[in-house]
Homo-oligomer: A and B are copies of this chain.
Amino acid sequence: MPSLQTQLESACHSVQHEIGVGKVANYIPALAQVPPGKFGAAIISISGEKASFGDAQEAFSIQSISKLFALTAALNVHNNNIWDRVGREPSGNAFNSIVQLEKENGIPRNPLINAGALVVTDMLLGEQTATDTVTQLLSLVQRLADNESIAIDKTVAESERNTAHRNASLAHFMKSFGNLECTVSDVLDAYCQQCAIAMSCEQLARSALFLANNGTDPLTRQCIVDEERARRLNAMMMLCGHYDASGDFAHRVGLPGKSGVGGGIVAVVPDVGAVAVWSPCLNENGNSHAGTAALEALVRATKWNVF
């Protein structure tokens, strides 16, 4: 069997013509300036074997991938109580749709769309300040990635906060239904900072490794979540991790994964390892075009598909 490195290179080479297809997210200047030709990929196995390709060590804005970490943190504090305030069904709508919220009385469909992630952030805030909350979350991410250098891109965070009208609308809407305990302003402060965490593919793959190993980091032996919760986080990513293109991702890739508008995708291969890809040009559903293609090629070769 070929090495991880060989398999990764082969998959990445096969999709080089897809790089640059689609559009770089342009709703904030800091994201719009990312060169469209960037492409990175990294794998880490539960035995610690690593592979990387291209810009795998360059940090980018993880954006919605942070929803996975925030959900992990919130479950560890509030356990299954969080399901009183957010559902776990696919939304059947765009990531920032508000229609469902009106129909379902301010309860978002799942924690991986914006509305649901805002509720999760509200839970993390509790009595704390936004700064303390984000510091804690960042600390979790650093621990998961086994790397203390991971930081928030302040320029991106500020830029997002200044243009967060759609998220502000979602937050105020839920607040009007009583499904937000903190102030909208604090929730948005924390949320915009968590979205602006910057990580490389290598760091990102490493940070999701516990999900490939029943909740326990296989290299540090730390138990991050219990086995059942790890499976459920994976199930959540499979059904809701790619917004309204989760079905397409399951169809083509067949792995639990979470994407962000920064062009990153992290995917979990249960009992095998974790993979991260990055390429900033997005398809019409807001997911990395070349990144998805790379994962598809990799899974076709490795048969890592869970189905």
Contacts and interface: CB of A to CB of B under 8 A. Distances in A.
A171 B231 CA distance: 38
B169 A165 contact: no
A53 B245 CA distance: 39
Interface in A162-183: 165-166, 168-173, 175-176
A235 B166 contact: no
A236 interface: yes
Contacts of A89: 90, 92, 244-248
A74 interface: no
Contacts of A50: none
Nearest to A173: B169
Where chain A touches its partner, the secondary structure class is: helix
A20 interface: no
Given A92-B90, A245-B89, A307-B270, A172 B169 contact: yes
A307 B248 contact: no
Interface size class of A (residues with CB under 8 A): 35 or more
Interface stretch (A96-104, A120-128, A137-145, A194-202): A96-104
Given A97-B102, A165-B176, A169-B173, A90 B246 contact: yes
A91 interface: yes
B234 A240 contact: no
A78 interface: no
Contacts of A222: none
A190 to B, nearest CB: 17
A235 to B, nearest CB: 4
A89 B256 CA distance: 15
A88 interface: yes
Contact of A307 (B92, B98, B168, B306): B306
A110 interface: yes
Given A97-B102, A102-B97, A238-B238, A231 B172 contact: no
Interface string A242-253: 001111101100
B87 A247 contact: yes
A70 B236 CA distance: 28
Contacts of A109: 92
A51 interface: no
A72 interface: no
A162 to B, nearest CB: 11
B239 A250 contact: yes
Contact of A250 (B93, B172, B176, B238): B238
A263 interface: no
A208 to B, nearest CB: 13
A188 to B, nearest CB: 10
Interface of A: 87-93, 97-100, 102-103, 109-110, 165-166, 168-173, 175-176, 184, 228, 230-232, 234-236, 238-240, 244-248, 250-251, 254, 256, 268, 270, 300, 305-307
